[in-house]
Amino acid sequence: MIKQLERLIIAIALAVFLAVLVKPGSAQEIQESPLADTDQKTVEQETKKKNLSIDLAAPIGKTSPTPAPTPVKTIPPSTKIPDTVNNVGLTSLIEEALAANPEIKAMRREFDAARARIPQAKALPDPTVTFGNMTVGNPIPFAGNRKDGFYENNIGVGQDLPWFGVRRLRGQAASAQSEAKFAEYAATVRRITTEIKTAYYELYNTERALAVIKRDQDILDKMAQVAEARYSVGKAQQVDAINARAEITELVHREGELEIKQATALAQLNTLLFRDPETSFGNLIPLQMSSEPPPLAELERLAAENSPELAQQRRLIDAAGKSLRLAEREEKSPEVGLNFTYHNRPLFQEYYTYGVTLRLPLYAATKQRYAVEEQSANLAAARARLESNDIMIRNRLREARTRAVITARLIRLHDQGLLPQATLALESSLSTYQVGQVEFLTVLTAVRRALDVELRYYELLTDYQKSLAEIERYTGVELTR
pLDDT per position as a tens digit, 451-481:
899 999 999 999 999 999 999 999 988 888 6
pLDDT of residue 436: 62
Task: Please name every residue paired with 155 in a beta bridge, in sequence order, or none if there are none.
Answer: 131, 342
Angle CA(200)–CA(400)–CA(272) in degrees, nearest 5? 30
Q: What is the domain range of residue 29?
A: 2-124+162-475
pLDDT of residue 353: 93
In a domain, 152, yes or no: no
pLDDT band at 300 (very low <50, low <70, confident <90, very high): very high
**Do 54 and 13 meet the contact criterion of CB atoms below 8 Å apart?**
yes
pLDDT band at 9 (very low <50, low <70, confident <90, very high): low
Here the CATH number for the domain that contains residue 375 is 1.20.1600.10
pLDDT band at 187 (very low <50, low <70, confident <90, very high): very high
pLDDT of residue 134: 82
Our count of domains for the chain comes to 1
| Bigger pLDDT: 123 vs 54 | 123
**DSSP H helical segments within 24-89, as ranges?**
27-32, 36-49
Question: For the residues 317-322, what does the mean pLDDT come to?
Answer: 94
- Hey, how many other C-beta atoms are within 10 angstroms of the C-beta on 106? 12
**Do 450 and 426 meet the contact criterion of CB atoms below 8 Å apart?**
yes
pLDDT of residue 24: 36
Phi-psi domain of 25 (left: phi exceeds 0; alpha: psi -120 through 50; beta: other): left
pLDDT at 313 over 60: yes
In a domain, 66, yes or no: yes
C-alpha distances in angstroms, 346 versus 66, 109, 139, 141, 439?
96, 57, 18, 15, 126
In a domain, 418, yes or no: yes
pLDDT of residue 5: 54
C-alpha distances in angstroms, 85 versus 69, 208, 416?
19, 20, 34
pLDDT of residue 14: 52
pLDDT of residue 123: 92
In a domain, 97, yes or no: yes
CA dihedral for 433, 435, 436, 437, sign (positive or negative)? negative
What is the spatial distance between Cα 329 and Cα 368, in angstroms, rounded to a whole number? 9
What is the spatial distance between Cα 84 and Cα 94, in angstroms, rounded to a whole number? 15
pLDDT of residue 28: 34
In a domain, 139, yes or no: no
In a domain, 481, yes or no: no
Share of the chain above pLDDT 90, in %: 43
In a domain, 250, yes or no: yes
Question: For the residues 296-316, what does the mean pLDDT come to?
Answer: 94
In a domain, 148, yes or no: no
First to last CA, the chain: 23
For 256, counting Cβ atoms within 10 Å of its Cβ (0-12 exposed, 13-18 middle, 19+ buried), the class is exposed
